[in-house]
Amino acid sequence: MTRTENNHNGSDETQKTKLSFEDADESMYDGGDNNADVADDITSADYYFDSYSHFGIHEEMLKDVVRTKCYQDVIYKNKFLIKDKIVLDVGAGTGILSLFCAKAGAAHVYAVECSQMADTAREIVKSNGFSDVITVLKGKIEEIKLPIPKVDVIISEWMGYFLLYENMLDTVLYARNKWLVDGGTVLPDKASLYLTAIEDAHYKDDKVEFWDDVYGFDMSCIKRKAITEPLVDTVDGNQIVTDSKMLKTMDISKMASGDASFTAPFKLVAQRNDHIHALVAYFDVAFTMCHKKMGFSTGPKSRATHWKQTVLYLEDVLTICEGETITGSMTIAQNKKNPRDVDIKLNYSLNGQHCKISRTQLYRMR
């Protein structure tokens, strides 16, 4: 099974996984400029460590119109942020954000990409006539040398599932600390995580209770594991039972790396009588430096994105009446062994008419 088929998703669609490259074979990064030859040498073993080398994952991101069009609008409608500026594109992929910036009149764009896609980005930049404005640098942000001491703008699409999975935010903060000029711009500069609660009997049956009786056999030991793994999937707006609360907002232009680990309290108020099977997390990002504030949400009431939502199943079914509240807290931390994984601790309690419960559950995005 490849990383792109992991269990963050109930469906079989291609996954975006902003993988780190620490475990990858370093020889993958050696290859020179000879794109066609290099690309033909890539095998499934390389993709296992480096799914961003394959165009499929970039196709999925580019076709996520909510995502890509938002970045395009931010750049084209706010040229004052980019025109005559030195821009650093952190994790350039196909180079799309660099191309937007070049078109908006950037003085120069440094497009840094560590996967094999860097070779392709260079080819794309050339065939679109931007070779003298965009310099593609192949390597990890943490390891490359920029030919200039400071940049005016850092742009990046670093967000992972559950916002923080894959931990590319650290790479952006590293670049900001090292190269961003005082008073420079980070795009986007705000990211917020939200929580709500849903009715989801049908899917919980399919994904969790399923293991109780598999062709007549008890596989409930897998059920205990399954429930600890948040599921990345699309939630229907009709499933939402409570209001939605912001857990945390981060200012990418100011925050420290440690700020992405936190404990946040929440209080969700039921908007109807129903059963609750899961809590659902989602995020939004904002570009507050724009003339008019811009951004997008990955919430269940917004147009779907490839990030979908992240569903955390509860061990109990909560029977809740309109107006009753689920109170609790969520602790989010990088996993110590694998910093790309996210550990989640959820405390929740309901002291309702039909249901009194207080519980702690642990989850891990891996």
Active site residues: 157, 166
Whose Cβ is closer to ligand SAH: residue 101's or residue 330's?
101
Closest-by-Cβ residue to ligand SAH is 91
Task: Return the beta strands (E) in 176-226 as ranges.
Answer: 180-187, 190-198
**Smallest distance from ligand SAH to CB 192, Å:** 20
Minimum CB distance to ligand SAH smaller for 116 or for 310: 116
DSSP 8-state assignment for residue 343: E
Closest approach, Cβ 47 to ligand SAH, in A, equals 12
Task: Identify the burial level of 237 via C-beta atoms within 10 angstroms of its C-beta, where 0-12 means exposed, 13-18 middle and 19 or more buried.
Answer: exposed
Q: Which is nearer to ligand SAH, 117 or 365 (CB)?
A: 117
Q: How far is the CB of 248 from ligand SAH (least distance, A)?
A: 22
Least distance CB 6 / ligand SAH (angstroms): 17
Q: How far apart are CA 176 and CA 171, in angstroms?
A: 9
Chain-centre distance for alpha carbon 305: 11
For residue 215, what are the contacts with CB-CB under 8 A and spacing of at least 6? Answer: none
Distance of CA 249 to the CA centre of its chain: 15
Nearer to ligand SAH, 155 or 279 (CB): 155
Least distance to ligand SAH, CB of residue 325, Å: 38
How many Å separate Cα 348 from the centre of its chain? 25
In the complex with ligand SAH, which residue's Cβ is closer, 18 or 207? 18
Judge residue 12's burial from the number of C-beta atoms within 10 Å of its C-beta, 0-12 exposed, 13-18 middle, 19 or more buried.
exposed
| C-alpha R_g of the chain | 22
**Residue numbers of the site for ligand SAH (CB under 6 A)?**
18, 52, 58, 61-62, 91-94, 96-97, 112-115, 117, 140-142, 157, 168, 171
Whether the link from the prior residue into 339 is cis, omega within 30° of 0, is no
Residue 117 or 235 with smaller CB distance to ligand SAH:
117
Spatial separation of the C-alpha atoms in residues 94 and 62, rounded to whole Å:
9
Residue owning tokens 């039921």: 270
Can you read off the two tokens belonging to residue 109? 């764009």
Q: How far is the CB of 265 from ligand SAH (least distance, A)?
A: 32
- Give min distance, CB of 51 to ligand SAH, in A: 9
* Backbone CA torsion sign across 203, 208, 209, 214: positive
CB proximity list for 147: less than 8 A, separation 6 or greater: 110, 135
For the record, the structure tokens of 153 come out as 């703008």
Nearer to ligand SAH, 185 or 196 (CB): 185
Whole-number Å distance between alpha carbons of 134 and 108: 6
Tokens of 72: 């395009």
